[in-house]
């Protein structure tokens, strides 16, 4: 039951913020500062998410096979590989390093 409550609250909340973004009047974006901020916020959030999902284990910071996987993804990105290949590189290298006991 608790899980269903969490699922329902998350679904409602996440849909509400998505809709709010689309419904805010366009005039709110006319100011250059707001425009710059709206463009930079995803940069900050994605960077933090990437780092956390690579180096976080609960509340602790760790360096494990995921870091090697992310490095592989970075190399794939520099080589202009398509999206799927980037993700596949990360998954395969992470699995490979773990298989070798990393």
Q: Which of residues 67-86 bind other proteins (CB under 8 A)?
A: 69-70, 73-74, 77, 83-84, 86
H helices of the chain, where? 2-23, 32-55, 65-78, 83-99
CB of 85 to other proteins, least distance (A): 10
**Whole-number minimum distance, CB 62 to other proteins, in Å?**
11
Alpha-carbon distance of 7 to 13, in angstroms, equals 10
Q: Closest by alpha carbon to 77, among 99, 50, 45, 57? A: 50
Query: Does 62 contact other proteins by CB under 8 A?
Result: no
Which residues from 24-43 bind other proteins, rule CB under 8 A? 24, 26, 28-29, 33, 36-43
């Amino acid at each position: 039951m608790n899980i269903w409550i969490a699922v329902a609250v998350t679904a409602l909340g996440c849909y509400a913020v998505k809709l709010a973004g689309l419904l805010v009047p366009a005039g709110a974006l006319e100011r250059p500062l707001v425009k710059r901020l709206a463009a930079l916020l995803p940069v900050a959030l994605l960077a933090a998410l990437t780092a956390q999902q690579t180096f976080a284990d609960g509340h602790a910071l760790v360096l494990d096979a995921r870091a090697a996987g992310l490095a592989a993804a970075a190399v794939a990105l520099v080589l202009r590989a398509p999206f799927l290949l980037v993700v596949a590189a990360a998954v395969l290298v992470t699995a490979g390093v773990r298989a070798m006991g990393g």
